[in-house]
Structure 1
């Protein structure tokens, strides 16, 4: 159910500029994002809030988020017209927040890529004949598994697996931006996925079982103004996204944002 502008909420928010995301600023990540045409178009921000969060209140929560003066003045997005970073500015009329499962705590989730021979033992991604799944060029078995639902090994990841936040990050990095240069080996994708995921998601160790469990709650969010979709972009694209990672214990919201296009080039 979408939230509309008339809905009432007591949530207030504050921008947390001191919360930095090292996963996106490390030299290795910057170099990779530039190669994948995502550098300068992918960002993370943090906001704090002052009330208890319950997942069933997500619609009210995110409507309050987008209508809060601190969010309006500090939430970043890329202008479709100028390509420059701007603040939200627009008066949001409606918000859609889709719950994204976030249960994974190990990168062994991706071991099946090796066992199913999508990736060789030495880490090299198996190549295939070039194909297109508009607008993406498919030249290897990894992208076939990610994009072509009638491919031989698509079911290596179940529908529930594909909804997992860890998988979503991985897929977005693999597909990249408009001028993405694909990797020949898997490790850069896995390493970058892991560092971003750990930077965004909170976990705790349960005292009795000693098991690690995720405490963050994740949503994929779209906002609309009087003219239609305004966030994360005015144009719908699989690679334009905004994930809101809510930590109910710390009362923080981490925002992972990307707008599809041509990333910063290296000279």
Structure 2
């Protein structure tokens, strides 16, 4: 955790308003996000930065980002009332969690069928309704994702669940506050794949010719000078998050943000 004291800003940022997350803007995806109650509560924004970034600088990088004048004036956040606005506060303290991001294949999801969570047809196995915090669980997929006492919870290790790909999949499967869940796995997998491919950067390894993820990913929280958490929101929730996805080669950072709630139109 890093705190803002009297320190020189190391990194400066420039908003890239012309860059869009196309995988979230096509009509098929927007229809799904509407169904999942995420369309009005999710945001992807892009920035460039001015100096070489290395992973040991993650705390300074995030603190500089959330105190930078251009970020302060352009970064969108959702209020507790469900309306979008500016950041509102300058960060005085940040918590930066490194997120593993090494997977370059969707084969990890083959286990869903192998373990009987998904039928060969793609339909998701149902179960008796249960409630876990804010979520209604009516199928084996959500039970596996949320409940540690599920028979299938250990089909993915803690290390695998930490991976950005698995996190994206879980976020999409759980959806927003009034989510209409899918009966078939395909929409979740297709949307996860498209979004993941657009959010991360990859490079071919010269010696093996295998693809390698070059992005560095961090989950970020921030507090103001009065020690009140304000980013990504005032309260923690499974479906409230802000990821900074850094491309150290292009010197770009992508902000992938979502706040649990119904949104201004929900």
Query: For this structure pair, what is the TM-score category when the shorter chain's length is used for normalisation?
Result: over 0.9
Structure 1 residue aligned with 2:86: 87
Alignment of 1:178-217 (within 5 A): 178-217=177-216
Alignment of 1:139-158 (within 5 A): 139-158=138-157
Post-superposition offset of 1:151? 1.1
Task: Describe the SS at the equivalent of 1:178.
Answer: coil
Alignment of 1:32-181 (within 5 A): 32-80=32-80, 82-181=81-180
Give the total of aligned pairs: 264
Q: Is the contact made by 2:83 and 2:264 (CA closer than 8 Å) also made in structure 1?
A: no
Post-superposition offset of 1:143? 0.6
In 2, distance between residues paired with 1:103 and 1:263? 32
In 1, distance between residues paired with 2:75 and 2:66? 9
Post-superposition offset of 1:8? 3.5
Task: Describe the SS at the equivalent of 2:66.
Answer: helix
In 2, distance between residues paired with 1:155 and 1:235? 28
Say if 1:172 and 1:12 are closer, same or farther in 2 by CA, change over 3 A: same
Post-superposition offset of 1:208? 2.2
Post-superposition offset of 1:263? 4.5
Segment drifting more, 175-184 vs 8-17: 8-17
Segment drifting more, 172-181 vs 221-230: 221-230
CA deviation vs aligned residue, 1:196-222 (integer Å, no higher than 9, x gap):
111110000112211100000000001
In 2, distance between residues paired with 1:179 and 1:157? 27
Task: Describe the SS at the equivalent of 2:189.
Answer: helix
Structure 1 residue aligned with 2:262: 262
- The TM-score, its normalising length taken from structure 2, stands at 0.97
In 2, distance between residues paired with 1:175 and 1:189? 10
CA deviation vs aligned residue, 1:163-218 (integer Å, no higher than 9, x gap):
00000000011011110011000000001111111111000011221110000000
Q: Is the contact made by 2:82 and 2:264 (CA closer than 8 Å) also made in structure 1?
A: no
- Return 5+ residue gaps in structure 1 as ranges: none
In 2, distance between residues paired with 1:264 and 1:26? 21
In 1, distance between residues paired with 2:62 and 2:44? 17
Post-superposition offset of 1:227? 4.8
Post-superposition offset of 1:9? 3.5
Q: What RMSD in Å do the two structures reach over aligned CA positions?
A: 1.2
- Return 5+ residue gaps in structure 2 as ranges: none
Task: Describe the SS at the equivalent of 2:19.
Answer: coil
